[in-house]
A and B are shown apart, each in its own frame.
Chain A
Amino acid sequence: MDIFGMPVQALLAQLMIGLVNGCFYAVLSLGLAVIFGMLHVINFTHGAMFMLGALLSWAGLYYFELNYWVMLFLAPLVVGAFGIVLERLFLKRIYKLDYLYGLLLTLGLTLIIEGAVRSAYGVSGKPYGPAPISGVTDLGFLMIPNYRLWVIVASLLVCAATWYTIERTRLGAYLRAATENARLVEAFGINVPVLVSLTFGFGVALAAFAGVLAAPIMQVSALTGQTMIVIVFAVVVIGGMGSIAGTVVTGIGLGLVEALTKVYYPEASSMVMFLVMVLVLLVRPNGLFGGVE
């Protein structure tokens, strides 16, 4: 059976890959949006943090024989702590300034991080070796590598947990309130500066988590983050940053659109999400999910 001259098997296989990439986009843009809500800073380092997560998982295996599962837990923790240090040292100094300075500062930090990794490891990717979960699952109509299934499940679980934390817990209520009016929340006795640090740490930890997930299936290199961050920007422009579900849906949707383009018109696959962004801006300038600006 063919769809527009493409065997269904091949189409589904591509869509599967698109879904996996979409999950990375979703987790990354979620972290970016959470940070933006609290700090009003677009975190340019986000792509670099993704790269660091992947690199750490490789380094853990290579230098310390720490396996994937340990690093899946440890790498986000290390990157999160690193993020908190960056926030305390640098970012906290620019909150009262124009948004431009937040962008410039995080751009500068990105260059430092990526430059350092590049001078230590070069620009070529680090092969992770075999995926930690082997085998394939036969869904009858499609064979799926188990590792890809795991990536999808893990990403969606993390997104759901983030949603639950923000929408249904006390900590999440602090977060939502501080996003609206941080000074008043502080006047209620809540230590907002610590909340801000933790938010930043959590956001970049999400990026690192996605990085660890990606390490076995993507050749992650020092400059991977540079491509990733621009895609993530397109996701948040399209989806807006007001709604968690909106961000996740947009991320996954773009992954699928990218995969479909790869099937039918591969030359445009790296460009298609930016074209989608242009279309959305022309039709709905404030993005698909809301008018938060």
Chain B
Amino acid sequence: MNSATQTPALAVRDLHAWYGESHVLQGVDFDVQHGEVVTLLGRNGAGRTTTLRALLGLTGRRSGSIRLFGQPAIGLSTHRIARLGVGYCPEERGIFASLNCEENLLLPPLFKGTEAGLSLDEIYRLFPNLEERKHSPGTALSGGEQQMLALARILRTGARLLLLDEVSEGLAPVIVDTLGQAIQELRRRGYTILLVEQNFHFSAALSDRLLFMESGRIIDTLTPDQLNDNADKVARMLSV
């Protein structure tokens, strides 16, 4: 891990991405260091979700440079990018209706050549609900359980960089707390995490850095302690 700490886990340079004819990302630059938790903030349509999707090659055409754990990734196909050690938890959660809870959990294959991920026991300790519901069909789970499942299933694979899109969206405060604690725990275990969040307070408590996006670019970077001094600016960057 020591040699790896010199290169960032994720380095993005001048990333452009298109959906069909619309040019959504217009030159995104940022790094995420090993073990760091970074949040992308911004208004709707600023390009946060697109950034996550572009990292995995899920958008249309892309240009620029993406390095994952030092390896160039922009030319790779989606499944190869994932196998460099990326776990993706999409905004719509993506729980498969035709699979039961445990099948969903066991679906992502274990990566070769990365460190081992969490064991099934560890995952069930982190999210006890999932063990109780393991035979339920994926879509019979509550919103909170689905979100836990979407997060839990990428922890087994050996992914070291987690891309989490709107984890807290539309959930009861109790569940948001549980998820917050889980992410803290993952951080302690050395996972590198890139969050996209609407819930500013949720992410501020978890993150090392906050990146602000607007019109497909990163326009500012703050640490959580700088937030109070910059309250006006933050409000401007996030308000509609």
Write the residues of chain A forming the contact surface with B, with a CB cutoff of 8 angstroms: 170, 173-174, 176-177, 179-181, 183-193
**A184 contacts which of B77, B90, B106 (Cβ < 8 Å)?**
B90
Which A residues lie within 8 Å of B58 (CB)? 183, 187
Which residues of B131-178 are within 8 A (CB) of A? Answer: 154, 157
Query: Do A177 and B99 touch (CB < 8 A)?
Result: yes
What are some 10 contacts across the A-B interface (CB < 8 A)? Answer: A170-B106, A174-B107, A177-B107, A183-B58, A187-B56, A187-B79, A187-B90, A188-B82, A188-B109, A189-B79
Query: Do B107 and A189 touch (CB < 8 A)?
Result: no
Query: Do A186 and B99 touch (CB < 8 A)?
Result: no
Which A residues lie within 8 Å of B56 (CB)? 187
Is B97 an interface position by the 8 A CB rule?
A: yes
Query: Do B78 and A187 touch (CB < 8 A)?
Result: yes
Per-residue CB proximity of B81-98 to A under 8 Å, as 1/0? 011000010100010111
Which residue of chain B has its CB nearest to the CB of A185? B107
Is B103 an interface position by the 8 A CB rule?
A: yes
Query: Do B79 and A192 touch (CB < 8 A)?
Result: yes
**A188 contacts which of B97, B98, B157 (Cβ < 8 Å)?**
B157
- Which residue, B77, B78, B108, B157, has most C-beta atoms of chain A within 10 A? B78
- Which residue, A181, A183, A188, has most C-beta atoms of chain B within 10 A? A188
Which B residues lie within 8 Å of A193 (CB)? 77
Which A residues lie within 8 Å of B96 (CB)? 176-177, 180-181
Q: How far is the CA of A187 from the CA of B106 in the complex (A)?
A: 15
Per-residue CB proximity of B53-85 to A under 8 Å, as 1/0? 000101000000000000000000111001100
Which B residues lie within 8 Å of A177 (CB)? 96, 98-99, 107
Which residue of chain B has its CB nearest to the CB of A188? B108
Query: Do A179 and B98 touch (CB < 8 A)?
Result: yes
Query: Do A180 and B98 touch (CB < 8 A)?
Result: yes
Q: With A188-B107, A188-B109, A189-B111 in contact, do A176 and B99 touch (Cβ < 8 Å)? A: yes
Query: Do A190 and B79 touch (CB < 8 A)?
Result: yes
Which residue of chain B has its CB nearest to the CB of A184? B94
Which residue of chain A has its CB nearest to the CB of B96? A177
Which residue of chain B has its CB nearest to the CB of A173? B103
**B82 contacts which of A179, A180, A181, A189 (Cβ < 8 Å)?**
A189
Q: How far is the CA of A156 from the CA of B97 in the complex (A)?
A: 27
Which B residues lie within 8 Å of A180 (CB)? 96-98
Q: With A174-B107, A177-B107 in contact, do A189 and B97 touch (Cβ < 8 Å)? A: no
Which A residues lie within 8 Å of B106 (CB)? 170, 173
- Which residue, A170, A173, A174, A184, has most C-beta atoms of chain B within 10 A? A184
